[in-house]
Structure 1
Amino acid sequence: MVVTGVHFLDAAAPDGMRLYAIGDVHGRLDLLRAMHGQIRAELVRDEPADWRIIHLGDYVDRGPNSKGVIAFLVDRVTEDPRVVALAGNHDVNFRAFLDDGDTTGLFCRFGGIDTARSYGVEVDFSNSAAADKSRAALAAVVPSAHKTFIEGLPRSIVFGDFFFCHAGIRPEVPLDDQDPQDLIWIRDPFLHYPGLHEKVVVHGHTPHDEAEIMANRVNLDTLAYASGRLTAFVVEGREKRLLEAGAD
């Protein structure tokens, strides 16, 4: 089989643009602030002609301050369109819980209690009646700007030779034809695919101790909520590096 596609070593950002992609945050506002501080210092020092900061989703659940992370991103995205936030499966399921109160969904099973607590609400998912009461209490205090922000998060974005999304892509399916659910949920078919893609995929979703740099993808989920390390991928031209923000 003839392998076609873009190899990591050859992939480049658009001419004159520096890209920063930030992995899963999961309520770690402290790490997100620290990362933005590092990026801001670099941009002031280097004065690139253009730049983008791309967040790869999963802003809520598990960590201590999901509310603060969402508020921070709402402000940054509003202030500067060069700051981009993509949807993660946890974000989508948080918004879904506010609508339907489903006790079997991701929000109730993996960290939603921490998200609700950051908004000042103690939730009970033990039965449908309690969950519905919890949903109503939480929906009443989550600002409309937060709900609108999450609902409007795009699933992917492209810059140069890089395709950015939360989880990954369905191999051998054109990027323009990807299932939106795959972009926030896929794992094994994507992670174990050996071939090259149309573009190098920069993603999170599947945690590792260190960032994974492969021929066809870059995984930036370094389990920030537990490890205390938030990782970013930086590319300018064909020069590529990692940036890390750690807990004080």
Structure 2
Amino acid sequence: MKSLLPRMFRTAETSAHDAPPRRRIEIDRRRSTIYAIGDIHGCFDALLALEARILADARQSSVRDPLLIYLGDYIDRGPDSKAVLSHVARQDHGDGIARIALCGNHDDTFLRFIRDPANNAAWMNVGGDATLRSYGLGHVAHLRRPEDLASIGPMLRAAIPDEHITLLENLPVMATIGTCVFVHAGIRPGVALEDQTDRDLLWIREPFLSEGPRLPVNVIHGHTAGMEAVFGPRRICIDTGCYKSGRLTALKATPAGARLL
């Protein structure tokens, strides 16, 4: 079964190429300190613990107007996808830290599944079952065949809060500040930022992982999980596979450079 998963998930990857493009945003250059968090994948307790460390660091460093960027993949695999989305969807956390939530490939595919379960059934094999259980839909989390999933749309819409769907619909796919680029997966090497496709920003691995951006930018991303953060050619990957390793990773970027928190 394991060897079939990439092929099954490719349906969602291909459809991402055909969807209306998501927003790309430019961050106010006056922000001097940016924190980024890698793939969360339903690990709500780890997220709260890491955000507490970020808040402590910001206060200890007397950071003015700190910004936190989530790099996407809030759901699937871990136990608390619903709680993570509720947290990310909050407008004001009361801690003085502004937040930007970017879209990951799992988030994009979840939205497609909500709209059309039968034609996005592959999502169930990459952690979607855990997401459904977090919404109290464990009684359908075992379903895999499109014909069995075709009728669950009404119960999905009843169980998933409107604010979660609105969040998923409006997640931007890239944020930039100066020469620093924040995305979920990476960028197509040598292609101007304005010409990057959502498909690549959400899904790319090679040749980006080997070559880096091949542009005068530095890319902060997740998507490709490892046991530790990876400092590659003009790129830093901070997906440390929290759902299986228990380690959620954050990066602190300032004009002086970047370091793991």
- TM-score for both structures, normalised by structure 2: 0.82
**Structure 2 CA distance for partners of 1:130 and 1:77, relative to 1, 3 Å:** farther
Task: Describe the superposition over 1:186-231 as per-residue Cα deviations: whole angstroms up to 9, x where unpaired.
Answer: 1112112157423111110011111001231000110011100000
Aligned AA for 2:124?
Answer: C
1:27-85, Cα deviation, whole Å (9 max, x unpaired): 00011101111111122222212321000000000000000000011115686782000
Amino acid at match of 1:34: A
Q: Which residue of 2 aligns with 1:27?
A: 42
Greater RCO between the two (CA within 8 Å, min separation 6)? 1
Mapping 1:36-185, distance limit 5 Å: 36-76=51-91, 82-102=98-118, 104-122=120-138, 123=140, 124-185=142-203
Per mean C-alpha deviation after superposition, the further-off stretch among 127-136 and 162-171 is 127-136
List per-residue Cα deviations over 1:106-164 (Å, max 9, x = no partner).
Answer: 42220011000000002243333321233332221100000000110000000232101
Q: Distance in 1 between matches of 2:90 and 2:154?
A: 26
Note closer, same or farther for the CA distance 1:126–1:148 as it changes in structure 2 (3 Å cut): same
Instruction: Report the CA distance between 1:242 and its aligned residue.
Output: 0.4
The equivalent of 1:8 in structure 2 is: none
Instruction: Look up the SS of the partner of 2:225 in the other structure.
Output: coil
Look up the SS of the partner of 2:69 in the other structure. strand
The aligned counterpart of 1:7 is: none
Q: Unpaired segments of 5 or more residues in structure 1?
A: 1-12, 244-248
Report the RMSD for the aligned CA atoms in angstroms: 2.0
1:209-248 alignment, distance < 5 Å: 209-243=227-261
Query: Is the contact between residue 90 and residue 106 of structure 1 (CA under 8 Å) also seen in structure 2?
Result: no
2:212 and 2:135 mapped to 1: Cα distance? 43
Is the 8 Å Cα contact of residues 155 and 165 (structure 1) preserved in structure 2? yes
* Paired residue total: 231
Residue type of the alignment partner of 1:121: L
For the structure 1 residues 165 and 106, does the alpha-carbon distance in structure 2 shift closer, same or farther, using more than 3 Å as the test? farther
- Say which SS state the counterpart of residue 229 (structure 1) adopts: coil
With structure 1 as the length reference, what TM-score do the two structures score?
0.87
Q: Work out whether residues 210 and 233 of structure 2, in 8 Å CA contact, stay in contact via their aligned partners in 1.
A: no
Measured in 2, the distance between the counterparts of 1:106 and 1:169 equals 24
What is the identity, as a one-letter code, of the residue corresponding to 1:74? A
Determine the C-alpha separation between the residues in 1 that align with 2:240 and 2:111: 24
Alpha carbons 1:17, 1:237 under 8 Å: kept: yes
Aligned amino acid, residue 105 of structure 2: N
Identity level (%): 39
SS at match of 1:17: coil
Unaligned runs of 5+ in 2: 1-27
How far apart, CA to CA, are the structure 1 residues paired with 2:213 and 2:130? 39
User: 1 CA distance for matches of 2:200 and 2:136?
Assistant: 32
Q: Which has the higher helix share?
A: 2
Preserved CA contact (<8 Å) 1:171 1:197: yes
Is the aligned partner of 1:208 residue 2:223? no
Distance in 2 (CA, whole Å) between partners of 1:190 and 1:105 is: 28
Q: Which range moved further: 148-157 or 101-110?
A: 101-110
SS of the residue 1:233 aligns to: strand
Instruction: Name the SS of the counterpart of 1:234 in structure 2.
Output: strand
